[in-house]
Structure 1
Amino acid sequence: MQTKTVNENWSPAELIDLERYPILELSGDATRELTRHCRDQLDRTGACELPGFLKPDAVAMLVREGDLLAARAYHSVVTGTPYLEAPDPSWPNDHPRKFFEPTSVGVVAYDQFPDNSPMRQLFEWDPLMEFIAAALKKDRLFRYADPMGALNLAVMGDGERLRWHYDQTDFVTSIALQPSEAGGDFEYVPLIRSATDENYPRVKRLLEGSSTEVVHVAMNPGTLLLFEGRNSIHRVTPIVGHTTRLVALLAYDTKPGTRSSKGLQMARYGRVA
């Protein structure tokens, strides 16, 4: 069977290995078991990996699309803390909230994906969103209303990295497309803090280099990753080599109409909507 090109029509269902991941029948026994598996992983570790969620030929096609889009990426270098906010001056200088590190990454924004982009069509496909809602045990999800932040392609080249940080959203959905030659590892510490305990001593040891309890997630193309990063600190280690690391980021929320602030848009995309 011949492999389709980027320009040929791909339906979203053709991209997914539906035999392994039967996401279309949410009330079916197989899908219920799959969503229970996702929820169990999330409850235990804050993350759920679904390797081989996309078919190999679909991944190859999406990498070709990603390589074409990568030239449009806005690359930024921002120095900040794991808490993504300006620290209170009253904190001591060695406090985790005053630990500054750089983040450098390129991003292709939602409005830069063509209407016929297979990745865009997958993101806009209701059955995928409904499955993710079930896996996250949410009654309903909505796509981000942000014209730039709803769907992103993270484009990371030699030397780029994401610092240790917490997310300001409850969950992130990503699809791994292409690993770098070396580096580019996704690392996190599961549930290092809670709503009632910031666990600053443990965070401080991590920022000083302790690798205790750090989980490494291999960059396997085609993997769907559901990650609850509000309480699990995480990073991407520096990229090494000439192969661009490509990851699609699909943004959903439990409320309709969610948009990024103009400040965040400017920092991430170099422009405002």
Structure 2
Amino acid sequence: MLTAQQLADAERHDLTDLVDSERYPLDRPDDPVLLSAIATARKDLDREGCAVLRGFLRQDRLAQMREECHELAQKSFYNSREVNAYFTADDPELPEQDPRRLFMTRTSGFVTRDMITADRIMQRMYVSPGMKSLVARCLGEDKVYEYADPYAGLVLNVLPDGTQQPWHYDTNEFIVTMMTQAPEEGGSFEYCPDIRTPQEENYEGVGAVIRGETREGVRRLDLQPGDLQLFKGRFSLHRVTRVEGDTPRLTAIFAYSKTPGVVGRLERTRQLYGRVSELHIQAEQDRAERADGLLD
């Protein structure tokens, strides 16, 4: 039977029963081992826009989390549609080679936070102050916040045989993920660090990558189940290549923000999760133009 310690608790800093505390002593924030891991992550994020904390989850907990994700995956919403890297509609007035007119097939599945109960490992990790403190320190921020979005704050991404996530950007400046199961073939994470900036979309360079005309600047990351990945996906074009085989790629996505109250865009939410809430509708009505001026 579950105890209080085994449920998601927004006041519980100690994750030693889940995380490899010898490599990542989250309960000892000033431990030299943890400070070294944070310093390395910050350097990697500054240089590449990406950092990986290898073997973050304890092996016994990884096996448990994989089982939980298998069960959750049965609830996944699958959607297949043609999208561009910006999740915007086609504009016939633009040149055909413009990346805003380059549409790719996106077929993947998601299980949203409202379906992930408080006893699940991924939910326990997501709400923990220890986890949020680690993420903030790696990013050089004073604090990070959970999404206010009832769906997108914490999701399980399910990629079975034949599915993929084509080239795209993230709405938030950074994302935290953990693959819990690797596929038999494919499912590689590829990205182009800082291919755009708040001042320049770099449509020519982005289009060349999407059309497969160049691999210059494209990185491929060797992720293993249990690794914690921090990624600045707002400015770095990225994708997950086509998955092949009977074993699906399962990834927990922990969405935090530098500011409280973040709610996903209405149309993007509908595309990804197949439904929206009143909160999404109201947020869209109240939303101001993005401060950085970039397309979503």
* C-alpha distance in 2 between matches for 1:85 and 1:252: 23
* C-alpha distance in 1 between matches for 2:255 and 2:203: 29
Q: SS of 1:15's equivalent?
A: coil
State the match for 1:45 in structure 2. Answer: 48
- 1:235 is the counterpart of 2:233: no
**TM-score, scaled to structure 1:** 0.92
State the match for 1:65 in structure 2. Answer: 68
State the match for 1:263 in structure 2. Answer: 267
* C-alpha distance in 2 between matches for 1:174 and 1:189: 17
- 1:21 is the counterpart of 2:24: yes
- Shift of the alpha carbon at 1:48? 0.3
| Matched AA of 2:241 | T
- Shift of the alpha carbon at 1:23? 2.6
Deviates more, 1:201-210 or 1:169-178: 201-210
State the match for 1:104 in structure 2. Answer: 107
Q: SS of 2:74's equivalent?
A: helix
After superposition, residues 189-200 of structure 1 pair within 5 angstroms as: 189-200=192-203
| Matched AA of 1:235 | R
Equivalent residues of 2:15, 2:26 under 8 A apart: no
State the match for 2:132 in structure 1. Answer: 129
Equivalent residues of 1:47, 1:227 under 8 A apart: yes
Please, which of 242, 249, 252 is the counterpart of residue 248 of structure 1? 252
- 1:30 is the counterpart of 2:30: no
* C-alpha distance in 2 between matches for 1:89 and 1:259: 30
Unaligned runs of 5+ in 2: 8-13, 278-296
* C-alpha distance in 1 between matches for 2:267 and 2:155: 17
State the match for 1:86 in structure 2. Answer: 89
**TM-score, scaled to structure 2:** 0.85
Aligned residues with identical type, % of pairs:
34
State the match for 1:181 in structure 2. Answer: 184
Please, which of 148, 151, 154 is the counterpart of residue 157 of structure 2? 154
The CA RMSD measured in Å over matched residues stands at 1.9
* C-alpha distance in 1 between matches for 2:252 and 2:44: 21
State the match for 1:116 in structure 2. Answer: 119
Q: SS of 2:89's equivalent?
A: coil
Deviates more, 1:85-94 or 1:117-126: 85-94
* C-alpha distance in 1 between matches for 2:85 and 2:174: 16
- Shift of the alpha carbon at 1:158? 0.6
Deviates more, 1:239-248 or 1:113-122: 113-122
State the match for 1:272 in structure 2. Answer: 276
Please, which of 213, 218, 223 is the counterpart of residue 222 of structure 2? 218
- Shift of the alpha carbon at 1:86? 2.5
* C-alpha distance in 2 between matches for 1:101 and 1:269: 18
Q: How many residues align?
A: 267
Unaligned runs of 5+ in 1: none
* C-alpha distance in 2 between matches for 1:90 and 1:25: 57
State the match for 1:165 in structure 2. Answer: 168
